[in-house]
Chains A and B, each alone.
Chain A
Amino acid sequence: MAEVVDGEFTAFVHERGDALLRVAYALAGSQHGAEDLLQNALAKAYARWPRIRGDAEPYVKRILYHDQVSRWRLRSHRAEVPVAVLPERAVQRDLGQDSDLRLLLRDALRRLPPRQRAVLILRYLEDMSVEETAAALGCRAGTVASQASRALAKLRELVPALDELTTFQEAP
């Protein structure tokens, strides 16, 4: 029995490990954090494998999201407290420089509080709807909307070019 479980679990990780690591990386923002996060989630999945074997990937992802958000509160992990002086801004950037904008946005994503970042990961990496995101995070749809709104506001603050993009698009 144990050999069957080990075999199934190993096959699952080999098949889906890279995809899960991408999600973990986007959540944690670093390779070390991602591996740590994913390893813990997979270990929990293994311990419950007989009960979740048919639904393992959603289970692992749920743990990834919850653990990452929870870790924020742990003293042993870095809290995301705003610095007095914001890092590099992109006020004067040419909006045509999409790769620069993406680079700035990518760095700004790392600076979001984990809950806000998790919402964006679910919505834009996992392509989940607001309702699906709410279900994955175990919160209300309204909470997802408010977190997404705050995340966007923070990103605009960190990357003003994003705001200009919005203005550019919305201009008649």
Chain B
Amino acid sequence: MNGRTEEALRAAVRDLADEARGAPDIAGRALRRGRSLRRRRRVVAAGAALAATAVLAGPFVWLRPDPPAGPARWAAPPATSTPPPSGPAAPPAASTPSPSGPVAAPPPAGDWARGPLALPGGWVLTGATSTGTPAELGYALDRSAGRYVTSRYEETWAAPRGGVAAVVDYERRGELGLLELRTGQVRWVKVGSFIMTPHWSPDGRRLALTLMDKDDGGFSLGVLTVDTADYRTFPVDGKRYLCTDQCFFTWSRDGAEVALQQTDPDASVSESQPHARRGVQFFSPDDGRPSRFVPVKGDPDGPWSWSPDGRSVIVKGPDGPLLAEVATGRTIGPAPAADAAWVAGDQLLYRDRRANEMLLVDLAGRVLARQALPPALEANPVLAVAPR
């Protein structure tokens, strides 16, 4: 690079930085968030201290050696859309009354990770991942032991079922780790440079990865079979199946196909807005062949985005999360969160980040049940849930 190029680049970088406007009360906001973080770390540290005979099972992973304590004690959430009257059914004192619906069931007391966290609607928290550095604790539910395994890898992606979690170590580029929850052993598989996040099939047997060739921007689907560590990649015809902006393969609810959102090539493109979609294209995870197209104009988040009857789906639309009819693409209405899980019938489960709670709502937005999450999960940006 010559001097003039460097000079122009330096000026442009500074121009970009100069666009920043002063942020009001950034110190106060950071203080409040920092206090919350510190409280959470103390809780985690206290939990770790109790595990006096922890077994080091890998460079960053430790398993909780304590015998399973059975399911964590949760107060049953009120299954009503109206505030419960005061009386014997009221939850314990730790619960928070809500002006707009049922009272939240409190988080389990003590070391919450020693038992599965039951969620409203008959679901369970299967894990939580840390992202970024310094790595925070990630969690993956070991269903056989009935407790969560903690992980210090930068990312920990818990499977809906089975005894393996996927882990990402930022120092091992192009590799994905398969963490055996029972033993703590990690098998590293060379998968190539993948973007976004690994996605588990609903049965926990396969992982879908989105690979992008940085030179030509082309996509490939990577499918890793956990039991055999068999890894296959299938290039996608990027002209025919165009995807720009956020692109990642996710699984259908039955695990028989993978989906990739499709960009509308005729729509105007602005990098300040999500790119317009024309629909979702499905592919076979067995041979990568395109299977079907649905005119849903948004990005599904995973297998639980699709309703159990396959007629509706939750997607991230251009202006926010929405519910759409699969056959026609017609928007049914807004959705509470792009990563909400379609639990059953007309019930959706999602996380209220501000309150650190899981909410079960109906399609009209009425809150059916609320459960508070442990404070330790407050900083984990992504939670994994699955049917119990």
Contacts and interface: CB of A to CB of B under 8 A. Distances in A.
Interface string A64-103: 0011001111111011011111010000000000100111
A45 B34 CA distance: 8
A150 B31 CA distance: 38
A46 B31 contact: yes
B26 A81 contact: no
Nearest to B171: A138
Could you say which of A23, A49, A84, A152 has the most chain B C-beta atoms within 10 Å of its C-beta?
A: A84
Interface string B1-23: 11111101111111111111111
A26 interface: yes
Contact of B18 (A22, A42, A66, A138): A22
Nearest to A65: B133
Interface in B25-63: 26-27, 29-31, 33-38, 41
Contacts of A49: 34
Nearest to B36: A43
B132 A25 contact: no
B95 interface: no
B37 A166 contact: no
Contacts of A106: 12, 15-16
A118 B243 CA distance: 25
A85 B239 CA distance: 12
Contact of A66 (B27, B36, B132, B245): B132
Contact of A124 (B13, B155, B248): B13
A144 interface: no
Contacts of B22: 18, 21
Contacts of B339: 75-76
The main secondary structure of chain A at its interface with chain B is helix
A9 B28 CA distance: 10
B17 A83 contact: no
Interface in B237-272: 242-248, 263, 265, 269, 271-272
Contacts of B170: 70, 138
A24 B26 CA distance: 13
B345 interface: no
B274 A78 contact: yes
A81 B4 contact: no
A152 B346 CA distance: 51
Given A43-B33, A166-B5, A81 B245 contact: yes
B212 interface: yes
The number of chain B residues touching the other chain, given as a range, is 35 or more
A113 B245 CA distance: 11
A165 interface: yes
B28 to A, nearest CB: 8
B217 interface: yes
A27 to B, nearest CB: 9
Contacts of A152: 1, 5, 9
Interface in A4-24: 6, 9-10, 13-14, 17-18, 21-24
A81 B212 contact: yes
A17 B37 contact: no
Nearest to A78: B246
B34 A43 contact: yes
Given A47-B41, A83-B269, A109 B16 contact: yes
A107 B104 CA distance: 46
B30 A39 contact: yes
A70 B16 contact: no
A84 B244 contact: yes
A24 B20 CA distance: 9
Contacts of A6: 31
Could you say which of A63, A71, A102, A120 has the most chain B C-beta atoms within 10 Å of its C-beta?
A: A102
A40 B197 contact: no
Contacts of B9: 105, 120, 124, 152, 155, 162
23 contacts: A10-B27, A25-B16, A26-B13, A31-B21, A40-B33, A43-B36, A44-B34, A45-B30, A46-B34, A46-B35, A47-B34, A47-B41, A73-B197, A74-B131, A81-B244, A83-B245, A102-B8, A103-B15, A105-B9, A106-B16, A108-B12, A166-B1, A169-B2
Interface of A: 6, 9-10, 13-14, 17-18, 21-26, 29-31, 34-35, 38-40, 42-47, 49, 63, 66-67, 70-76, 78-79, 81-85, 87, 98, 101-103, 105-106, 108-111, 120-121, 124-125, 138, 150, 152, 155, 162, 165-166, 168-170
Interface of B: 1-6, 8-23, 26-27, 29-31, 33-38, 41, 131-134, 154-155, 168, 170-171, 195-197, 212, 214, 217, 242-248, 263, 265, 269, 271-272, 274-275, 301, 338-339, 381-382
Given A42-B27, A166-B4, 17 more contacts: A25-B16, A26-B20, A31-B21, A46-B34, A46-B37, A46-B38, A63-B133, A70-B131, A70-B133, A71-B131, A73-B168, A74-B197, A75-B246, A83-B244, A110-B271, A125-B10, A169-B4
